Structure formats: C-alpha cells, structure tokens
Amino acid sequence: MALFEARVKVLEEKAREVRFHIIDMIHTAQSGHPGGSLSAADIMTALYFDILSIDSRQPRAPDRDRFVLSKGHACPVWYACLALRGFFPVEELSTLRKINSRLQGHPVAGKVPGIDATTGSLGIGFGQAVGMALEAKMSGKKYRIYVLLGDGELNEGIIWESFHIANKFHLDNLTVIVDCNGLQNDGRGSDIMPMEPLEEKFKSLNCEVRRINGHQMREILAVLDRAKVGFSKPLVILADTVKGKGVTFMENVWSWHGKAPNDTEYQKAIQDIKGAK
C-alpha cells in the first residue's frame, strides 16, 4: 500500500507539470485544443510515467506497448508526456503548430519519436489500434495496445464497426479509455448526439467495462494495473472527467475546446495549475 501511495503522489505532481506544458505551448502557438488535453492529463500521466512498457532510447522497439491517441486534436497532452519522458527535447514544445515543426496540430506517425499512429479525423485512430491489437494477437506477441478516445468521438460510426472486430477476434490485449468530459466543439455531447447508456452498449459488444473518476489517480492506477494482468476480452475504461480540468475558468466550458488563452488568461491558468492540489 505504501508503494502504491508513493506512485500516486509522484504521478499527481507529474500531472501538474504536464498541465503546465499544455497551457504553455498552446499559449505560445496561440492555437490548439486545451480543454480535452487538460481533461486527459491525469490518464495520460499514469500511462506514460508508470504503466506503458516503452523506452525513449528505443522508440521503435518491437516489443514495446503501443499507444494511440484517437482524439488527435488533444495532442498537446501527448507531446508534453513524450517530451517529459525523453522522446524529444522539452524545449521543442514551443514549436507547436509552427511551419516545419514536428509538432503539428494533429499527431503524425514517423515524424515524432514515440508516435505510432497518425490521427485527427475522429475515429480512425481507434481503427488503427484495433488493427495493431489484431496483428499482435495473430503473431503471438505479448505487448499491449492502449487507445484514448473522446466521448464525442463515439459519434463516429467507425468506432462501433471497430468494436465489432475487437469482439469477433477476442482482443484481450486491447485497453480502450474513453475520456468522458461531456463536451464537444459545439456544446454538450448529450444535446448533440446522446450516447448513453455506454456501459450497456460496450457490455453488449462483449467488452469488460469499468467506470472511474478520470482525475483520481488512485482509481486510474488501480484499473490500469488490472488491465496489465488482462481480461479475456477487450477492456473499456469509461473515465469521467472535466473538460479544462485544472484551470478554473476553462472547466466545463465548451468554448475552450479549441482556442488559446491570451496573456492575461495564461497567467491565471498557470496560477491555477501551480496552486492545484
């Protein structure tokens, strides 16, 4: 228990650092998607600084775990984690969305070390993740595939087609995390296209389903630790989150889906992040 609590404390501090870099790079670029990057920060921190079997010195190691950010517009959180894990210099984060930068507004495989899937058009990342899991299973490989979806992304038909494939081939090496922050670019997801009851839908597709608080590091670690042991079927983690988490004026405000803070807002956001407990 003491070791588990130590892991939690380290990751909570690291998540604060990840949030700082999200806001810093988006402010510098004056472009990007802060809301969904911040909502996923705790989950991504747990994956990249505790769970994933990866090595920045060998980003293409054959036996590495694979991660796919299917909601590719939230790539600032991915870039922050990769930089802090040593896949590229932290200083490069300041080049977000600049011409000729490797860090474009959506992730591109082959340009950034540690990125295995080009994503952006919603849904295609999950299709790629299912393909990776199927290839690993057919080849008898032991690495795991993790994929992060947005709850708004579940509006895409390719998501449900790909889940049918995961069901048919019993992809027990696949862990799917849904960032359930409830908001999309144009408003509340439940108004735009209601998707609940999600637990029942995923269970009907023969998935193991867990619902957690996506900002409670203890809950995140507990379910991801269990995922490493594996189930006999794909695992879906429904992580209830707050869009813009950690920056008070961004929290649960859909208009912060895809805009950058000005100088005054930036200073307030950094104060919030540094003071967050």
Domain boundaries, the chain: 2-275
Query: Are 123 and 70 contacting, i.e. CB atoms less than 8 angstroms apart?
Result: yes
Class of domain 2-275: alpha beta
Instruction: Decide if pLDDT at 44 tops 80.
Output: yes
| Angle value at C-alpha 150, between 231 and 33, nearest 5 degrees | 140
Kindly list the distances between the CA atom of residue 173 and the CA atoms of 94, 153, 169, in Å, as whole numbers in the listed order.
35, 22, 11
For residue 93, pLDDT over 60 is answered with yes
Work out the percent of the chain whose per-residue pLDDT is above 90: 96
Q: What is the mean pLDDT of the chain?
A: 97
Looking at residue 99, its pLDDT comes to 95
Q: Is 126 within 8 Å of 147 (Cβ atoms)?
A: yes
pLDDT of 277 reads 52
* Range from 93-102, 118-127, 267-276 carrying the lowest mean pLDDT: 267-276
Strand partners, 42: none
What's the confidence (pLDDT) of residue 198?
A: 97
pLDDT for position 6: 97
CB atoms under 10 Å from CB of 1, counted, come to 5
Query: DSSP for 150-165?
Result: ETGGGGSHHHHHHHHH
Asked whether the beta carbons of 214 and 220 are under 8 A apart, the reply is yes
CA distance 167 to 207: 7
**With bands split at pLDDT 50, 70 and 90, how would you rate the model's confidence at 1?**
confident
Q: What is the mean pLDDT of residues 30-52?
A: 98
In which band, very low, low, confident or very high, does the pLDDT at 29 lie, cut at 50, 70 and 90?
A: very high
CB 114 within 8 A of CB 60: no
Burial (CB count <10 Å: 0-12, 13-18, 19+), residue 113: middle
Q: Quick check: 98 pLDDT over 70?
A: yes
DSSP 230: -
DSSP assigned state of 13? H
- Of 74, 78, 109, the C-alpha closest to 93 is 78
Tell me whether the omega of the peptide bond preceding residue 197 falls within 30 degrees of 0, making it cis.
Answer: yes
The pLDDT, as a whole number, for residue 276 is 61
Tokens encoding 108 = 């591109």
pLDDT digits (tens, 9 = 90+) for 58-81: 999 999 999 999 999 999 999 999
Q: Which residues contact 122 (CB under 8 A, 6 or more apart)?
A: 70, 71, 72, 150, 152, 153, 155, 156
